[in-house]
Amino acid sequence: MRKKKDTESDSAAELAKYISELILQKKGEDIKILNLKNITSVSDYFVICSATSDVQVKAIADFIITETKKLNHKPWHSEGYTNLSWILIDFVDVVVHIFLEGSRRFYNLEGLWGDAEITEVKD
C-alpha cells in the first residue's frame, strides 16, 4: 500500500467538505463526515446523509455527480440506483452514502466506524 502525500489527503478533505455542501443544497439531512485516514486504507473519508424520499436520494446523488464532474472529480463507481434506499458514490478517497432514514438506521455505518473522527455538517 502506498502512502498518500499530504496534498492528496488535503484534496480528499476538501472534496468531502464540498460534497457535504452540495448535499445541503439539496436539503439532505443529518450530514456527517467520517475521517477514516487512521483507521483503514479503504478510503480517507465517508460522507453520510439521510433523505426523506427515494426521489430525494436520487436528486442528491445526481447533483453530487454532476457538480463534482465540473471540478474533474469523476466517481470511480456508484451503485444503489435500482432501489434508491442507499446510493453509494465512490470517489476512492471519499465515499458518499445517501440513505433513506430506515436504511441508514439498519446499516448503522456510524456505529460500524465508531472509531472515526466524526464531523457534523450543519447549515
Q: What is the pLDDT of residues 6-33, one digit of tens each?
A: 445 579 999 999 999 999 999 999 999 9
Query: Which pLDDT does position 6 carry in this prediction?
Result: 45
Q: What is the pLDDT of residues 52-69, one digit of tens each?
A: 999 999 999 999 999 999
Q: What is the pLDDT of residues 75-122, one digit of tens each?
A: 999 999 999 999 999 999 999 999 999 999 999 999 999 999 999 999
* Residue 92 forms part of a structural domain: yes
* Residue 94 forms part of a structural domain: yes
Query: Which pLDDT does position 2 carry in this prediction?
Result: 38
DSSP per-residue letters across 18-58: HHHHHHHHTT-EEEEEEE-TTT-SS-SEEEEEEESSHHHHH
Residues in the chain: 123
* Residue 1 forms part of a structural domain: no
How far are the Cα atoms of 4, 23, 97, 101, 123 from residue 20, in angstroms, in the given order?
23, 5, 11, 17, 10
Query: Which pLDDT does position 73 carry in this prediction?
Result: 95
Number of domains in the chain: 1
CATH number of the domain that 21 lies in?
3.30.460.10
- Domain extent, residue 91, equals 6-121
* Residue 57 forms part of a structural domain: yes
